[in-house]
Structure 1
């Protein structure tokens, strides 16, 4: 039974990576503004103010100032997009079993993803995306640390 669980887990990891690449780099959300210089593009498409877009989306949920699925997709999509990474990462890299190591690795990975999105013009650098992605990954990491999950996958 454990062997079947591990096979399913490995297949789900490959599917997760594929979906993640599509969502982050190949989807239709990219701006692709080739008429702007890179500096202009970064200035126009980036958010370096923590909680700026999160606050906008939360406010919109209450005052209905935008279509409700926009804040829901952005907040919960970013939150849950990296939740599986919090489970897969410590499973595949046994050295990342402390929260401090996990935070360092995820921070590097998430900043790298945000930078690649800007450089390829397939998205923007948004510190709020980073915050929500990190929070989701930490939730996943805590799920990984649960004894029932450890028993199931070890």
Structure 2
């Protein structure tokens, strides 16, 4: 039964990755600055100021300065987009099972994604997206670490082995 569960989880991970790639790099996310050089594009489209976009969206929620769908989709969407990664990574890669290694791995992964979005012009580098994505993965990792999830998903022989 656990082998079937692992196969189901691996297949769902592949579909999750396909969905993630589709959201992040495909579709109609082309740039309005397509005539700019790459450096100019990155300068104009990027946000390197932490909480700049987040505070703008939070303010807009409270003062109604923009359609409520926009800040909610951006804030919640970026938070939950990487939430599953917090469960998949430590389940599928045993070495990523403590918060330090998990955080380091996720930071590298998210920075690579943000840079690829900028270079491919399929999005922009936004430190606030990175912050929300990282928070989402950490929430997922926290859920992964819950005892009942561990008992449900880890094989019995791994539950019996104590780590020192």
Q: TM-score range by the shorter chain?
A: over 0.9
Of structures 1 and 2, the one with the larger relative CO (CA 8 A, separation 6+) is 1
Match of 2:92 in 1: 92
8 Å Cα contact 1:33-1:121 kept in structure 2 = no
1:66-111 Cα offsets, whole Å, 9 max, x none, are 1111000100000000000000001111001111111110000000
8 Å Cα contact 1:111-1:130 kept in structure 2 = yes
The structural deviation recorded for 1:31 is 1.6
Residue 56 in structure 1 maps to residue 56 in structure 2:
yes
SS at match of 2:96: coil
Match of 2:118 in 1: 118
The structural deviation recorded for 1:5 is 2.7
* Distance in 1 separating the partners of 2:61 and 2:12: 33
Match of 2:161 in 1: none
RMSD: 1.2
1:23-78 Cα offsets, whole Å, 9 max, x none, are 01013223263200111101110000000000000000011111111000100000
Q: In the TM superposition, what are the counterparts of 1:1-150 in structure 2 within 5 Å? A: 1-31=1-31, 33-150=33-150
* Distance in 2 separating the partners of 1:93 and 1:10: 11
Unmatched runs of 5 consecutive residues or more in structure 2: 155-164
The normalised TM-score by structure 1 is 0.95
**Structure 1 ranges of 4+ moved more than 2 A:** 1-8
8 Å Cα contact 1:96-1:102 kept in structure 2 = yes
8 Å Cα contact 1:2-1:152 kept in structure 2 = no
What count of residue pairs does the alignment treat as equivalent? 154
* Distance in 1 separating the partners of 2:42 and 2:7: 42
